[in-house]
Amino acid sequence: MQQLRNLIAVISVFVQNKIISRVKPLRPVNLRVFYIGGYWRGSNDIVAQMLHGLQKTGATIFGFNTDQNFDALDTESRSYDRGNSGPVWLRRNKLFPLILQFRPHVIICNAGGLSFRSQDTMTLKKLGIKFLGITLSEPDVYAATTSKIAHHFDVFYSNDKYTTELHRSHGIQCYQGIRM
């Protein structure tokens, strides 16, 4: 009787191993990220360094350098000061063709007061695209800029503890990230 149980156990393990060997392993989806930021200090700029770090994760990245594409920025007739005096809106006609061709899972707007306008954000979210915003200059830019754009993002990162709490008090999923 014991030999029969052992034989059944061996056959059971053999059958399980055969079944498992035919199961194809799950492959992680290759994350596609559309990364928008200005690298005005060149390759040593923190926004550029964050892009390089993201590239090392294995995600597929489309880097859009706003310093090489000023025509993609709308400052509402203010001088371009990297979002210190108000939001820097991203122009739909310049970015949508690139985004629709690349088909990202996530759009990251890193620093500079960058954001799409509400209608454009909603259009892209309907396509399943998530938005992540990063600010590196709070609390200085909170009143003029980030308080006006943070609600466009699914997740927002601030470098400042106090303004992180302010964003949260307005229902924004905000976390304190890099401390400058």
The hierarchical CATH code for the domain 28-176 is: 3.40.50
Of 148, 173, 158, 61, give the one whose Cα is nearest residue 106.
Answer: 61
Q: And the tokens for 3?
A: 């030999």
Q: What is the pLDDT of residue 27?
A: 46
Whole-model pTM: value is 0.82
**Residue 48: pLDDT band by 50, 70, 90 thresholds?**
very high
Instruction: Residue 177: name the closest of 160, 154, 155 by CA.
Output: 160
Q: Are 171 and 148 in contact (CB under 8 A)?
A: no
Nearest one of 31, 48, 155 to 104, comparing CA atoms:
31
Amino acid present at 45: D
Mean pLDDT across 83-104: 94
Exposure of 3 by Cβ count < 10 A (0-12 exposed, 13-18 middle, 19+ buried)? exposed
For the ranges 37-46, 48-57, 143-152, which has the lowest average pLDDT?
Answer: 37-46
The helix/strand/coil state of 158 is strand
Identity at 81, one-letter amino acid code: D
Which residues neighbour 151 within 8 Å (Cβ) at sequence distance 6 or greater?
170, 171, 172
**Domain residue ranges in the chain:** 28-176
